[in-house]
Structure 1
């Protein structure tokens, strides 16, 4: 193999490997993607030994090491996340305070809130190691609770509530995802489908009941 092509591979394959690790572990990790990363890692080291210059071998091992560190950091953040399943229901105001504390935590850029088919509220938010709380309400409609929290954070006139209510009306449960670029910025929103679909069994008010 020519020196030029060998140099290109010696540099390009490790760069591709590091980018692949970063792209895979910055979002939802899937087993197939992890297997492909392992194959690419082996291929990077093999081609460096077979065709590359000496420094290319070192670069290949460095790339694999960086990729492993990226993966380890991702799993460490996931392990640090706290999930709390409340054994007692919260009053609407108690749970609202929890939502406010998660949204107002230093560095909080993401908050998700949803209603399970059984009627419990799931809230995920906080800092890099987010807290997850799953809790029921002592009274009131859980769907109304979600809408009230979104109005409180994203603004009273946010179109998120109308979009959410439209999905619920079509018996399609969705999670409301609130995001912002920097702490202190206004919250943006998007809807994410939730499985299983919502059946309105938890609706306890004229707005959301069949």
Structure 2
């Protein structure tokens, strides 16, 4: 192998490695594998780079440095986007800490209403407070398992409640649902309502089940 062949070999390696590096970096940001269209574009781009490195012009070290510079700029830019996305993403909630908060709030008669919500994206949020003024909102992320929330609702309403079934079906269909639990502060019982998002309004259905909080 002659020294004159080294730029061509390095250019070929860069032409193959660079697209794979871009896909790997982008996958870390978007948390999903590339789709069919992306793979086709990747294959065409790789073939073009190999052709350009060997036949379109005489490979030089400038060609290699160009590949490296493009890769560095892209990777640094994508990683900066990833850091920004992570910083703006809701932080996971410790289930144990959340459970203590729920028990503290639901034991206080000043907060007779608990609202569980499911966003169109599948995120779960709930708030505590009077019906006219929700005073706190918490969004559950991957740090708090869905089974924990279902367990708390089951304990309040009962696992056989029609409201629970409808709420879980709404979760499966990724529909915006809200479960509103109202407590009778005099008797300590809970009444549930399911609110399904329908355009700008909510279709409300009252659950006939009345359960006691344990």
TM-score relative to the length of structure 2: 0.42
Highest relative contact order (Cα 8 Å, sep 6+), 1 or 2? 1
- The structure with the larger Rg is 2
TM-score relative to the length of structure 1: 0.43
| Structure with greater proportional strand content | 2
